[in-house]
A and B are shown apart, each in its own frame.
Chain A
């Protein structure tokens, strides 16, 4: 946090010291972006809690979760991040199939957890800037569980804020997934088709 404060301070100082109003515009823009990010997490969080704690069967909940994920998460961006350097070497056909499967894997992983999260509540904390992203801190509380610190990384490259990562107690979901795939690929001759068929099998097993 001290870093963010310092950076804000430096930006402000620069705004005062340097002539030209373009410098004055920056902190205000950043403020707008963090506000939008915070509002997005509030909205997505409320929707998720409503689905998890609400009525309805697993099928119904799954459909509603898919809709929430599609609207709030930059799934394509996360998918590209998780494939890392192999995204560049993949053929367009491989990229397309991978993307499609990744979407289903993500939805499956989230849906398979909802049973454990009944009675969940969350508290919105502060929002900070990190590089070009906004990091929204929340505390997630579940019955019979210690409170968990969950940070939501929100990116808005073209003004439209989207979730790009979820960091639970310091562990990043997308980084963990990327290292899982990287290790799988390195033990399968860096063959992207092997990864795709492993993902397909995962999706098939999840039903």
Chain B
């Protein structure tokens, strides 16, 4: 170990420099950046919603038949008469200490509870689709990389274009009309609005999510198959692959341990980012399939001009994206030893 520790930035008195492991130091630094980034997002969303509202938030909050006294009471209770920075301080403090995203104007319940209640559905959609598209993209990508310009290679390229160009809502309706139990030509799985939480009925949960998964995974699967194929093809042309063959390794090991290790590393970080975006809610798929997730909550919030709910879903989505960036940075550093921390 001693040799490798050379070149570390020891000697400086800062807190970070005192941590021995360069990887841990890197992670902590990335973590600090993520917090800063989140703070910036909170600030921006607050700014947008503080400056933009066409109506007085206290009036919106008070409801339709409120007397001026009630409005004034609410204004004082929630600090809406305070200057900008005080309101921002109250808002930020609420988010940091108890993840308080405010009360929904529309339903008069905490936005936090609403989002948490819908989170399992969004996570189910995102993770299931992610697993499906990776399960398709990996073997297809490897196959096309090992047989460039073959028929399967061209088929993947063509299909990818089709699925990428097909709008999600159109593709969603097509599969519903084909396979949904209520309106489909081949009624085999649950259709729109059939979502059941996993904790209630795993089988019904699975059936209700198969179509959304397929629709969401299609475009990604094609895209990832192509990216994996291209990266692997590039990796297989590298000198170290020739070395691996010269060692007398089986071709299988050459591809899986040497080619893929180099070719997949950038894909892994990209996949973490895509998954993070989806975890924040998939608006189109949740809407088409009527799944009660965070994405559909955002749509409803916009339709009802429910400002705290919109703000909350935006923040929530941003939180997952910042988290995904953090995870992808750390993954890259762990996977590729050449990354300088």
A and B form one complex? no
Binding site for A on B (CB under 8 A): none
Binding site for B on A (CB under 8 A): none
